[in-house]
Structure 1
Amino acid sequence: MVQVQRILATCGNGHLGRLGHGIGQESSKFLRIVGSLVGYEIEQVACGGAHTAVVTDDGSLFTFGQNDFGQLGHSAGDKYVAVPIEVTLPDPVVSVAAGEHHTLCLTKADEVWAWGRHESGQCGLGDGAKPKYPEPRLVKELNRAGIKELAAGAEHSMALTSAGDVLSWGAGAFGALGLGGKGAGAGGGDVKWEPQQIRGDLRSARVRSLVANYFSSGAVDDQGRAWTWGHGLHWQLGHGTMEHQMMPKQVPGLSGVTTMALGHMHALAGTAVGRLYTWGTDEFGALGRGEASMKVRLPVKTPTEVRGVSGLGTGAAPKALAAGWKHSAGITPDGRVLTWGWNGAYNEDSWFMGDSGSGQLGQGDNHDRWDPTLVQRLHTSPKRFYDLRMSYIKPWKALQISCGRNHTAAVIETELDTRDLN
């Protein structure tokens, strides 16, 4: 009854079922285990705008949350689904990426499948296709292309090949595709209905990982250099200018980068020697620069180290970083979760999609955090929890983390007593 398991835990705004805790759609101010997935060994989680996708060790894919554009890949007649339901695919899934209203996955057959909103070509299914797809469709242009990683933004998508090349498709607004051009505003710009290879300076780099969020994109190459492009009016590209970037450009002042995350108006990067860098607009503490920054709220124009971060400044690379609309999260080398930024206090953007924040930092309240703060509790049910401060609790460690607009999800390894799920 007691065994070590890799489970999924979620917190934040429960509207439209994105937390997977059932029909009540309650928000959760603490990380809480998704009980219906206990028994599966969770490999990866990806948070979209208001939906969540989960890959298990046997290659099953489960999704839940908002489904207005068919982004769940099942339950076509439902506007949302509040519990995990498996997506039917012909082969086991390797990885998944969740955009604002669309989803992509890579299977063991070296195939990429896409579903959800396609009005701007973000599913890569070609011109003249339908505006939305409620069931998975094969991205034929990527068939047997040696894809190893996928990334999804609001209206664009990217893929990384085993050779280190990057392809992009969807809306070219603000330069998010990295393909050049004039870079019109949101809703404008060139639309690429099928994957196109990004060239320019990135062509000379062998890319190791991709990130995307809203209208900006980024990559880390095998030399530890960071590259960004797309929307830049909030300094979130780290180039020291308030300009959109039509093609990939190396971020100055960063080396040895192992992990990077892009939020709506901010960005994060972790290095191999355990340093955390942030840049962009410091709304509600998203940059983690401390309460003193509340008084000035000045943007950080280029990557600047966040000093004194408990657990991240240990000399070892952080396991992962993630960024949502206006909140941030990280995993320390020893598997502890740190969160900071907007946590549900009043925000002028809380009207966005009828969707306000509520507890996405997992700290037990709706207070914003201006410093990276350790998450102490893992709830096994609405009334039971494991508290890291208690000596009799077996340590639990996070393996991967993802941030949606106003929710957070983590893959956690813990010694779980299933009786605590009741």
Structure 2
Amino acid sequence: MTIRRRLLSAPSSAQRLLSTSAHTRYQHVLYLGDVLGYRAEQRFAPFPRAWVDAVGGAADVDHGVRWRCAAGGPNHALLAYTLLDVPLAVRSARRVSEDVVIPGKVGVEEEGQEGEVLEEAGGRKAASSWPSKVYSIGRNTHAQLGLGFASQEATRGMVTGDLSGSCGVSAVVAGGTFSIVITQEATTSNISVFGNDTLGQIGSSAAETSTTLDPYDVSTRLAGSDAPQLRLLPLPKRVEVGGGGWTVKSSAAGVDHTLLLLEREINGYAVQRVVSAGLNADGQLGVTPSGSASVPISPLLSRAFQSVPLALTPTPSGTAGDKIVSVVCGADTSYALTAASDVWVWGNSEYGQTLCGTHDRLAAPQRIANPLPAAYAAHSIHTPTVPRIKTLVGGGAFAGILDTQGRVWDVGHTAPFAESAHDDTLRPVTGLPSVERLFAGLEYLVATCADEVYVWGVLPRSVSRTPVHRPTRVHLNVPRTPRQVWLDQNLRAKRKQREEGDGEKGGRVSVQAAACTRDHVLLVLDDGVGPDVWAECVQPPADKGTDITL
């Protein structure tokens, strides 16, 4: 409790000002909590470049990388990056022995100003291209890090295997003990899966289940053996879903199931499908036939992706219509959010987290009309416009909503979030500013507003050993690039840079992505100005002297 009060105490008005640099830009990766036991941080700290260098990423960082997306499961996290089209200027001897050549491009580097990303004519930022890579970190008990092996110890590395796609990685998904990487081609998506598929979580197999009389026995077995087996995929495996030609618009994973939102264009119309795979003990796959919802539910699992029977109507291309915009997973609950802020729900509803009352399970999808107008009225909150759902997130036994007014709501088993448990209706989360982004771990929520980050719930134990009942701000400093630190120590070079009009101006900080695990929180920040490149790529010039040597 003492640690929480000292490090996570609610800020006074004087403390609310974030200490940031006036001259920062670029992307920054920060972490809170315990990462592999190296160090536990109770405030957001910079993710060291050394952690990427140590797994073979040094040449990539020297070349220049842009973080694309992040995802966190209960025990591991994934961070995807793409190499810049044009490398940063040569600054270190390391590049001599570790040249980076983008496949399909000639490995010739052009001269440019140190510390800047070269741009196309007209000042446009050069679009990123293949190759994209995925950095994985955390527990690897079921080979969920994609490193080619499973291990009892937590570790880190680069996902090994073919993650090709002309448009790079578009999404990463971290489930209970499995992972999914989605890369994008011009009109289709590639789906690569790895980790635990014992219960069909990643839909990589159509293997038959046991033929025993036990309806709960869904174990995989080797030919001629009665011994149940784990099915682990230590390396990425390409999975075809829906016969090909589909683009993955949204993806999500629970503890033991996966949802994908697929879309393709047919004769000027956008056609959508939601598919699911994995365990179905609580109806979270949404594929249970009518009359088969009694225990044991049928099917108890699906080892291949199946279509969820939702009443979806093709919409004219380029229009929102009644399209689904995202799919979301709680631990054993599933959601599909529509453009009209209606929500399809199915799966576990023991705590009312489906907004459809308290039930043991919802075996078939139910459509819930936009719940926000009723919630605003119930709490006497007046608004000139109809509130809509901006973001829907799922936790272990709760759901969170960020609406278009910047308010956060929760529903379900939220006892760790407040002095008393909530019911099965939406309740507003108080003590927050106007929120821009909302993220969820299995047992906690993270809300961000520009350069402010708030957390509450059952946080990683290295941050707090007791539940944090109210949103509490965690202080952070936007780091400076290694080049900026060097300029601060070399005033002549800094003065010359200013005289040449190359001074860096601060921008508005925003959170681009987050990965929320039981051990730590990872954030990808954009400090608002300049090219999208990881700050750690911007090194001081290797061939320039310092003020001391001068």
Q: TM-score, normalised by structure 2?
A: 0.54
Matched, 1:221 2:262: yes
Match of 2:423 in 1: 369
- Give distance in 2, aligned partners of 1:36 and 1:239: 50
- Give distance in 2, aligned partners of 1:282 and 1:276: 14
Displacement of 1:258 in angstroms is 0.6
Match of 2:444 in 1: 407
Partners of 1:274 and 1:315 within 8 A in 2: no
Which of the numbers 368, 379, 385 marks the counterpart of 1:306? Answer: 368
Displacement of 1:268 in angstroms is 1.5
Partners of 1:36 and 1:83 within 8 A in 2: no
Match of 1:99 in 2: 73
- Give distance in 1, aligned partners of 2:237 and 2:445: 31
Matched, 1:138 2:184: no
When residues 171 and 298 of structure 1 are mapped into structure 2, their CA distance, relative to the original with a 3 A threshold, is closer
Displacement of 1:271 in angstroms is 0.5
When residues 221 and 191 of structure 1 are mapped into structure 2, their CA distance, relative to the original with a 3 A threshold, is same
Deviation per CA, 1:140-174, whole angstroms, max 9, x where unpaired?
A: 31465421110101110001111212111001021
Matched, 1:331 2:402: yes
Matches within 5 A, 1:124-135: 124-127=146-149, 130-134=151-155
- Give distance in 2, aligned partners of 1:225 and 1:317: 23
- Give distance in 2, aligned partners of 1:407 and 1:166: 29
Counterpart of 2:183, as a letter, is T
Partners of 1:269 and 1:321 within 8 A in 2: no
Matched, 1:122 2:122: no
Match of 2:194 in 1: 169
When residues 373 and 316 of structure 1 are mapped into structure 2, their CA distance, relative to the original with a 3 A threshold, is closer
Partners of 1:94 and 1:107 within 8 A in 2: yes
Match of 1:246 in 2: 303
Which of the numbers 63, 69, 84 marks the counterpart of 2:44? Answer: 84
- Give distance in 1, aligned partners of 2:387 and 2:273: 17
Aligned length: 335
- Give distance in 2, aligned partners of 1:24 and 1:282: 35
Counterpart of 2:255, as a letter, is Y
- Give distance in 2, aligned partners of 1:36 and 1:132: 39
Partners of 1:275 and 1:312 within 8 A in 2: no
Displacement of 1:126 in angstroms is 0.7
Displacement of 1:375 in angstroms is 2.5
Deviation per CA, 1:370-395, whole angstroms, max 9, x where unpaired?
A: 112233321xxxxxxx5xxxxxxxxx
Counterpart of 1:374, as a letter, is P
Match of 1:197 in 2: 238
Deviation per CA, 1:55-110, whole angstroms, max 9, x where unpaired?
A: x983221122354xx2xxxxx344x5422222234334222111221111011322
Displacement of 1:176 in angstroms is 0.5
Relative to its length, the structure with more strand (as a share) is 1
Name structure 2 gaps, 5 residues minimum: 53-60, 84-131, 210-217, 221-227, 264-270, 290-296, 313-322, 376-384, 454-472, 476-550
Matched, 1:260 2:317: no
Partners of 1:103 and 1:116 within 8 A in 2: yes
Name structure 1 gaps, 5 residues minimum: 1-13, 42-55, 71-75, 345-357, 379-385, 387-395
Matched, 1:157 2:157: no
Counterpart of 1:310, as a letter, is L
What is the identity percentage for the equivalent residue pairs of Structure 1 and Structure 2?
17
Deviates more, 1:162-171 or 1:219-228: 219-228
Match of 1:322 in 2: 393
Q: Which has the larger radius of gyration?
A: 2
When residues 189 and 317 of structure 1 are mapped into structure 2, their CA distance, relative to the original with a 3 A threshold, is farther
Displacement of 1:308 in angstroms is 5.7
Deviates more, 1:312-321 or 1:187-196: 312-321
Partners of 2:70 and 2:79 within 8 A in 1: yes
Partners of 1:156 and 1:172 within 8 A in 2: yes
Match of 2:490 in 1: none
Displacement of 1:254 in angstroms is 4.4
Counterpart of 1:333, as a letter, is T
Partners of 2:370 and 2:388 within 8 A in 1: no
Partners of 2:163 and 2:192 within 8 A in 1: no
Partners of 2:342 and 2:370 within 8 A in 1: no
Match of 1:59 in 2: 27
Deviates more, 1:174-183 or 1:306-315: 306-315
Match of 2:161, SS? helix
Deviation per CA, 1:24-43, whole angstroms, max 9, x where unpaired?
A: 578x9x9xxx97976499xx
Deviation per CA, 1:7-50, whole angstroms, max 9, x where unpaired?
A: xxxxxxx99x9xxx786578x9x9xxx97976499xxxxxxxxx
Counterpart of 2:364, as a letter, is T
- Give distance in 2, aligned partners of 1:323 and 1:171: 21
When residues 64 and 413 of structure 1 are mapped into structure 2, their CA distance, relative to the original with a 3 A threshold, is closer
Partners of 1:311 and 1:333 within 8 A in 2: no
Higher relative contact order (CA 8 A, sep 6+): 2
Partners of 1:279 and 1:287 within 8 A in 2: yes
Which of the numbers 66, 73, 82 marks the counterpart of 1:108? Answer: 82
Counterpart of 2:73, as a letter, is G
Counterpart of 2:139, as a letter, is R
Displacement of 1:272 in angstroms is 1.5
Displacement of 1:132 in angstroms is 3.6
Counterpart of 1:217, as a letter, is T
Counterpart of 2:234, as a letter, is W
Q: CA RMSD in A?
A: 3.7
